[in-house]
Structure 1
Amino acid sequence: MTNAAAASAPSKVLVATDLSARSDRAVERAVLLAKATGSALTILHVVDAELPRRTADRLVDEARELIGEHVAALKGAEAMAPDIKVVLGTDYKEIEDVALKSGCELIVLGVHRNETRDLFRGTTAERVIRSRACQVLMVKARPQSDYRRIMVGVDFSDCSRRAIEFAVKLFPNAEFHLVHAFDVPFKAFLRSDDTRQEVSRSHEEEMDRFVKGDFPALLPLLQAAPARVFQVLKQGPARDVIQDQVDELKPDLLVLGTHGRSGIAHVVMGSVAEDLLSYPPCDILAVRP
């Protein structure tokens, strides 16, 4: 990673762990990210404040010891001297509070053991993503290397632009697949192939204008290595197109832009993103405007 790229990356990363195996994957990914970007790393565990005080104190000590052992077992992690915090409170509230007070720009979470399509709403991850803290990376897979193939859902909004910018700055050595789903208006009444092709060409032109527009992070990549940025346009419902492209491309990371104030209900492509976050096919980065 170049110095310029590193300077654009988050200077502080927070990873929250519930000490489960899935959270261990998040810690390992956060360590890789912090090493690659030179970011300061905080590892946080929250003990339920409603537990009896003696029990809570014991769990605090045990958590600190377990996290220390995990860090010691990760190559190069101890040398980074991560800040280990174990606090009493409510998980998502403490995650947001620590992130805001410490100035973290990226929160890393594991996929919760109880997270399913029906249970996602109201879970720690959903509440953290809805908060105004910062960007959130949900880690599903155990990391083996840096992210190499990244897929970004695009709807030509400023949220999409922000998502691409953040991902390129954070992972400048990856290849990017920008995926846009479109439909043909009144297609049941439009039998002409010429009409369908015209709609497709219109979206291709809009994608080209979008990619070649005001992209301070993406333009240098296009100039230096244009073969690492791919534009994918597919006709069909966004839900089907995104899932099909995940199946076909098998990305290491899926990036989605959120619309901020209204949170998860208005993530780019709406309920499609909510479904993906509730049952992630791979690691997912949710980027706020």
Structure 2
Amino acid sequence: MYRCKRIMVGLDFTLLDKTLITYAGFVSTLIKAEKVYFVNIQKSLDIPPDLWSDFPEFHIPRDEQLRLKMREEVAANFGEQKNIEIDYIIAEGSPLKEMTHLARIKNIDLVIVGRKNELKGKGILPNQLMRSVPCCILFVPETARKRLNEIMVDVDFSDASKAALEVAYSLSEDNPDVTIHCQHIYHVPAGYYFNDKGKEEVNRVIKSYHVLQYNRFIDNLNMEGIHLNPIFTLDEEGDMVHVACNTAQKKGADLIVAGSNGKTTFDTFILGSFTEKIVQLNVSIPLLIVKQKQL
């Protein structure tokens, strides 16, 4: 079973931090995290000596000031977590490089970052971070709520889909009210409509094949006690991302979970493109990208 025990949360001292810390506390409880690192990356921690006389507080090293501020924000918003060890890191350098480096050396399973839309503050481009970090990554929008009743998982019967479902299961195994919507988006191969069968009959046959594949896939997973709702969607326009996002909106999804690659070279290209597009398009629902951990 794919588990996330070590978490890293990226903060930048903007208004989004409160939402991010609160949601990180919520997720940490659900997945029974063991350790959470709160991280802030500054381009430079140097303070010009000329400012010291006017601002006596600058004699305190800047990283210590920021760490204290971070502790206060976490204490106010993370919630009481008796079994979770918390650490604070202030680093200097490129945010993308430092986040990636810390995720690797700290053996992180899940990186949690904010997804800015309306709130002010400059963040790392989501797709850059998704490609760079060696583990799962959760994008939390400014509108995120501490609720997890409906989870949408995009399924293509690959190992990446299996890992995505396992992570979704780990988030919901203690809550019998959670529904995991397993959406499989399929296409009718070119030319199939030109045989002697009607369009509806072709669609029925193709869908029945995918239903069979889904049942075989689920039978090999341990998903006992969880309500799974399979959704089979024909993509007639060739736009899987909009299909996935529209379904998530209709189902009132509290979280979207997607794997980071497919099962064949072609699928890897398609799902890789799918994953990057859904990161770019979806800005209103928390989005968890499940990646096979790279050490």
- Indicate the TM-score class for this superposition, using the shorter chain for normalisation: 0.7 to 0.9
C-alpha RMSD of the superposition: 3.1
Is the 8 Å Cα contact of residues 34 and 85 (structure 2) preserved in structure 1? Answer: no
Give CA deviations for 1:219-263 in whole Å, capped at 9, x if unaligned.
Answer: xx2xx34xx101000111323421220221121100110029xxx
Q: Which residue of 2 aligns with 1:278?
A: 280
Q: Which residue of 1 aligns with 2:253?
A: 251
Q: Using the alignment, how far apart are the partners of 1:151 and 1:268 within structure 2? A: 19
The 3-state SS of whatever aligns with 1:27 is helix
Write the letter of the residue equivalent to 1:19: F
Task: Identify if the C-alpha distance between structure 1 residues 267 and 99 changes in structure 2 by more than 3 Å, giving closer, same or farther.
Answer: farther
Q: Which residue of 2 aligns with 1:42?
A: 37
The 3-state SS of whatever aligns with 1:104 is coil
Q: Tell me, which stretches of 5 or more residues in structure 1 are unaligned?
A: none
The 3-state SS of whatever aligns with 1:150 is strand
Shift of 1:159: 1.1
Shift of 1:58: 6.2
Shift of 1:125: 3.0
Q: Which residue of 2 aligns with 1:189?
A: 194
Is the 8 Å Cα contact of residues 40 and 82 (structure 1) preserved in structure 2? Answer: yes
Shift of 1:271: 3.2
Q: Using the alignment, how far apart are the partners of 2:19 and 2:268 within structure 1? A: 28
Q: Using the alignment, how far apart are the partners of 1:107 and 1:246 within structure 2? A: 23
Kindly indicate which of the two structures has a greater share of residues assigned to helix. Answer: 1
1:207 maps to 2:214: yes
Q: Using the alignment, how far apart are the partners of 1:272 and 1:259 within structure 2? A: 9
Q: Tell me, which stretches of 5 or more residues in structure 2 are unaligned?
A: 52-57
Task: Identify if the C-alpha distance between structure 1 residues 131 and 21 changes in structure 2 by more than 3 Å, giving closer, same or farther.
Answer: same
1:137 maps to 2:144: no
Is the 8 Å Cα contact of residues 256 and 267 (structure 1) preserved in structure 2? Answer: no
TM (normalized to structure 2)? 0.78
The 3-state SS of whatever aligns with 2:194 is coil
Shift of 1:286: 0.4
**How many residue pairs align between the two structures?**
265
Q: What pairs up with 1:1-289 in 2 under 5 angstroms?
A: 9-36=3-30, 37-49=32-44, 52-54=46-48, 59-74=62-77, 76-77=79-80, 82-112=86-116, 123-172=124-173, 173=175, 174-185=178-189, 186=191, 189=194, 192=198, 193-213=200-220, 215-216=221-222, 218=223, 221=224, 224-225=225-226, 228-236=227-235, 237=238, 238-259=240-261, 266=268, 269-280=271-282, 281-289=284-292
What percentage of aligned pairs have identical amino acids?
21
Task: Identify if the C-alpha distance between structure 1 residues 15 and 88 changes in structure 2 by more than 3 Å, giving closer, same or farther.
Answer: same
Q: Using the alignment, how far apart are the partners of 1:143 and 1:244 within structure 2? A: 18
Following TM superposition, the consecutive aligned residue runs of length 4 or more in structure 1 with deviations greater than 4 angstroms are 55-59, 77-81, 265-268
Write the letter of the residue equivalent to 2:43: D
Larger radius of gyration, structure 1 or 2? 2
